[in-house]
Amino acid sequence: MGIVELVSLAITRSFSPVSIAAATLGLFVIAIFEDQRFYSEKKNEQKIKLLEKESERDYLTGLLNYRALSQEINRLANNNEIHNIVIGALDIDHFKKINDTYGHFVGNEVLKYFSTVFREQIHSAFPKHGYVYRFGGEEFTIVVSNHSLEEVYQLLQSIEKFFNNKSIVTKEGMKLIISFSCSLTDRLNDELLDTTLKRADKMLYSVKNNGRGWIVTDQHHQRPQKPSLERKINNNY
């Protein structure tokens, strides 16, 4: 018995201890069933959200991945409160040489270290407006909204100095100093963000083809980063 039966009994005034007990038990069973169903659905929703979140993270560095970058680009493009977007393409200099010289495990340590520093610095300088993505391999992308290109440029200069002055100490005790190449560009008015991203990527490859170790923007001449990773690797090898 359940709610319908109780109403029917009330109408006909045919209550009895047995019928009341049966109806009460029915309601109790229904309540337990509904509670379990709600808990199960809630748990499934949490699992789905967790899987979606994990699918947007790079397993090695913990950074957001290309899928998350595409979603963020779409979100920013449709947000009327965003008045400026800076996109940067970054590449760890001579990363292949690190892998070839020290092995992929050391290469992974470098990727994790680089990612941790950039994530902390970007998030600290541009809270809720700055994000770092692993684009693939040793290539990364940063997206900063509602801040000027000059602000982002100055931060990257400070990060470059940090890497120059602080070496990575691997688990095996080797010390490495890394540097990076970077291109920064502003999104133009009504420009598709994919177009901005492609321009930044093209600028980065131009830097890499002309010696690496530079930070280049639409507004600055190229400035070399010192010391170069290649010299440091040769000195430590």
Catalytic positions, please? 138
Tell me how far apart the alpha carbons of residues 113 and 97 are, in angstroms, rounded to a whole number: 17
C-alpha dist (Å) from residue 118 to 122, 142, 162: 6, 9, 11
Within 13 Å, how many C-alpha atoms sit on residue 136's CB side?
Answer: 3
Beta strand 130-136 with 223-224 is unpaired
Task: Name the token pair of 3.
Answer: 């709610």
Q: What totals of helices (H) and strands (E) does the chain contain, helices first?
A: 8, 8
Within 10 A of 66 (CB to CB), how many other CB atoms are there?
A: 14
Tell me how far apart the alpha carbons of residues 206 and 65 are, in angstroms, rounded to a whole number: 24
DSSP 107-135: HHHHHHHHHHHHHHHHHHHSTTTEEEEEE
Residue 138: strand, helix, or coil: coil
Tell me how far apart the alpha carbons of residues 59 and 68 are, in angstroms, rounded to a whole number: 13
Residue found under tokens 């998350």: 68
Tell me which residue of 90, 99, 104, 93 sits closest to 133, measured CA to CA.
90
